[in-house]
A = this chain, B = another copy of it.
Amino acid sequence: MSLADSRPRPETPGRGDTPARGRPRSEAVENAILEGVVHLLEEGVPLAELSIERIARTAGVGKATIYRRWSGKEELFVDAMRAAEPSDPELPGTSLRDDLVVLLEALRRRGLVSRSSAILHNVYAQMKSSPKIWAAYHAAVIAPRRVVGLEVLRRGQERGELRADIDLELANDMFVGPMLVRTVMRPEGDLPEGLAEQIVDTVLEGLRPVSSTAS
């Protein structure tokens, strides 16, 4: 699992133009810590036993080095999970359909990554049984994605690309639901190339035969 796409954290104290105080606070240190978390998870350490002390020992840093960057285990863990996933995509902005295809394709790719990684798969399950960690992951990763999706739909509705009478929350669930059912809930479900396009086009078009009148 690569942490290469782990983003810099501009809010980290000691970062940016001001010189670091005391110990070096490079991105390398941060990556070592995130990789330490992933390493422990890969070794099968249950989330409940993942302590800051153990992470510090694994990464070869002091506990204070971790606490200078993360408020606690939950925040650090969520960052490690985020770094292990593909980053969020750029939206083309050319049409509702194009933006939705890119969003759903990103979901499909994340699904493939999590399937190919036994640790990610197992960790998701553990995360869901810890309300505190799940809430942190939800707030940091899932909620922002949902906001982006709703914004794409709102713009599409304004431009007349989406029925005006449609509730946007429902529309969002109609697009992401079929993809999430396959990526998250059915580990054996097919995730072929082109699935994002297929879902977006079919949801836009509807399932009723064209010649049929509404019942």
Chain A interface (Cβ < 8 Å from any Cβ of B): 95, 97, 122, 125-126, 128-129, 160-164, 166, 169-171, 173-174, 176-182, 184-185, 189-190, 198-199, 202-210, 212, 214-215
Q: Are B209 and A164 in touch, CB under 8 angstroms? A: yes
Q: Are B178 and A173 in touch, CB under 8 angstroms? A: yes
Task: Tell me which of A125, A178, A180, A189 has the highest count of chain B C-beta atoms within 10 A of its own C-beta.
Answer: A178
Of B163, B177, B210, which contacts A208 at CB under 8 A? Answer: B163
Of B126, B166, B210, which contacts A202 at CB under 8 A? Answer: B166
Bound complex: CA of A179 vs CA of B126, how far in Å? 23
Given contacts A122-B129, A160-B212, A210-B163, contact A203 B190 (CB under 8 A): no
Q: Are A95 and B215 in touch, CB under 8 angstroms? A: yes
